[in-house]
Amino acid sequence: MDSVRTTDQRRGAPLLRRLLPLGTLLLTVAACAGPAPDAGSPDAADGSTTLHVMAFTSAAAGWNASIPAFANTEAGSDINVRTTYATSAEVAKAVLDGEPADIVHLADQGSLERLVRQEKVAADWNAGPYQGTPFHSIATLVVREGNPRNIRGWADLLRPGIQVVAANPVLSGSGKWGLMAAYANASDGGANHDAGIDYLNKLIFEHVVEGPTTVAESIDLFLAGTGDVLLAPENTALDAERRSPGIETLVPERTLRIDTEVAALRNGEHPDEAARLVAYLYTPEAQRLWAEAGFRSVLPEVVAEFAADFPQPQTLWTIDQIGGWATLDPLLFDSENGIVTKIFDQATA
């Protein structure tokens, strides 16, 4: 057995049936917190400031909880916050195309480094004690209630007939993490690269039946009955579990820590206010709110408080331990020459 925690199956050909097109940027604007700004102006007449946070979609639960709490602090009492959600790649592209924003929250460092290279984000964005990552998640497996296919870990995904739903890693940062976790396990933490790639070949060609654009779409497909197993970050899986009693989340014994990066933009209109909001994310209050939303805290005292909610796998690799973003992102996910990109292209040809 190699799992720590345990969530009508539709059968089909053991091939990736479709990979949704990248499409255009889909933006969802969430509610603001703080005093409401005047219509037609980013700032209210009383002198308050409106910050624009652009984040990957599955971070919404955390922001929805922490923004109102921030507004109730002295640091945030005069700050409004509006949020825009999309995939990490779409957020990065929008910022590069000139979308005004103050803070980005991305699911993969590769997307953030694109902003660093174009001088949208400072090169020292990760210089603090937590390297620009206020909270973590981990890569998990989601199964049907009762685990009827007896899925225990990554090796089981290659069993004959097992169908897997995985978000498109070309666009979805969360999709990248799921496949990198599979690679980490098969390669023994990056020690055997060829074994890791061989596993991904078999997984994608023979078992992945859907490659939706976002992890949110992948969850909707899974809840609608597609597949036996869903690759999803723990925070997203737990949120889906709350919405549907018919699934369970498995924490594999060997998996990968997911880092989500928060950074202020260099050309943001309100750098001081943005710095206040970013700093708030590292406070115990905010860390507890994000933990309640399914994310793993970086503060030891909050980790201890939520220990029962977040079981620890036997082996939890970090991205640096299996090769690092600077190596793995272009190697696996380059839009033209990435190994995984090519596998997906071939599987859908």
Predicted pLDDT at 348: 64
Q: Tell me the CA distances in angstroms from 304 to 1, 61, 68, 309, one per residue in order.
A: 26, 22, 25, 10
The answer to whether 70 and 32 have CB atoms below 8 angstroms apart is no
- Listed in sequence order, the DSSP H helices in the chain are 60-71, 88-96, 109-117, 173-186, 193-206, 215-223, 234-243, 271-280, 284-292, 300-305, 325-333, 339-347
**pLDDT tens digits for range 118-129:** 999 999 999 989
CB 139 within 8 A of CB 178: yes
Question: What is the spatial distance between Cα 246 and Cα 144, in angstroms, rounded to a whole number?
Answer: 6
Q: How far apart are CA 176 and CA 138, in angstroms?
A: 12
Tokens representing residue 60 in the block: 């919404």
The pLDDT of residue 245 is above 60: yes
The per-residue pLDDT for 42 is: 44
User: What's this model's pTM, rounded to 2 decimal places?
Assistant: 0.86
Q: 49: which residues sit within 8 A by CB, 6+ positions away?
A: 43, 78, 79, 80, 270, 273
Measured CA to CA, the distance from residue 189 to residue 342 in angstroms comes to 22
For residues 124 and 128, what is the distance between their CA atoms, to the nearest angstrom? Answer: 9
Render pLDDT for 77-116 as a digit per residue (tens, 0 to 9). Answer: 999 999 999 989 899 999 999 999 999 999 988 899 999 9
The predicted structure's pLDDT at residue 349: 62
- What are the structural domains, with CATH classification, of the chain? 49-135+258-306 (3.40.190.10), 138-257+315-348 (3.40.190.10)
